[in-house]
Amino acid sequence: MAGSRLEKVGTVFTRVRDLMRSGPVRRVQRKAEENVAEIFYEEDQIRAKFYELYGNGPKAFDLTKTSFVSTCQRFVEKHRELESRGDMKPEILLEETARALLADGVVLRRRGGERAVAAESRNPVLSMKLTDMLAEQQKDTDNVTHTPEEHTRTGPTDSSNTL
C-alpha cells in the first residue's frame, strides 16, 4: 500500500532531481546565455524612462481588480497614441505625454532629487539652519538696550499688598 502513494508524493523538482541522481536523465552542460534571445519591446524603453523619471508612484498596484490599469501602463498607451500622430519630436514626446495625462486627471510626480531642489528655490526660509536662526536671534537680543527700570521692577503692582 505504501508503494501506491509513491507517485502522488513529491514535486516536479524532487522527481527530476531523483531521476538525475539515478541516471535515466542526464544533465547537459552549456552556458545559460546560449539559448536566450534578447527581446526588447518599444514599450519596455518607454517604461524604463517612466520609472526613471517618476518612480513607482504614490499607490500600489491593485491586482484584485481585473480592470486595473497602472499609471505606467496609462503613460505607455498615451505615449504610443501621441507617437502615432507623428507630429512631435522624440525629445519632447515624454513631456507632452505627461501633460496629456495631467489633462486626463493623472498627476505624475518626479522622483526626489529635482523636487527637493525646486522646494529650496521656491522659499529661502526653508533652507535656513537652526544654528543660523539661533545666532540671528542672539544678535537681536544683544542689540536691544534694556532700561534699568525694567530690571528693578519685580512682582505685581497691586496696591493691596503694600503696608
End-to-end C-alpha distance for the chain, whole angstroms: 112
Contact 118/112 with Cβ under 8 angstroms?
no
pLDDT at 149 over 60: no
Farthest CA pair distance, the chain: 116
Question: In the prediction, which pLDDT does 47 show?
Answer: 93
CA distance 75 to 81: 10
Identify which has the larger pLDDT, 89 or 158: 89
- What does the mean pLDDT of the chain come to? 77
Residue-wise pLDDT tens digits, 101-139: 989 988 888 877 554 445 445 566 666 677 787 788 888
Q: What percent of the chain is modeled with pLDDT above 70?
A: 70
Contact 94/49 with Cβ under 8 angstroms?
yes
Listed in sequence order, the residues at least 6 apart from 61 whose beta carbon sits closer than 8 Å to its beta carbon are: 68, 70
Q: What percent of the chain is modeled with pLDDT above 90?
A: 18
Q: Is 89 helix (H, G, I), strand (E, B) or coil?
A: coil
Banded pLDDT at 76 (limits 50, 70, 90): very high
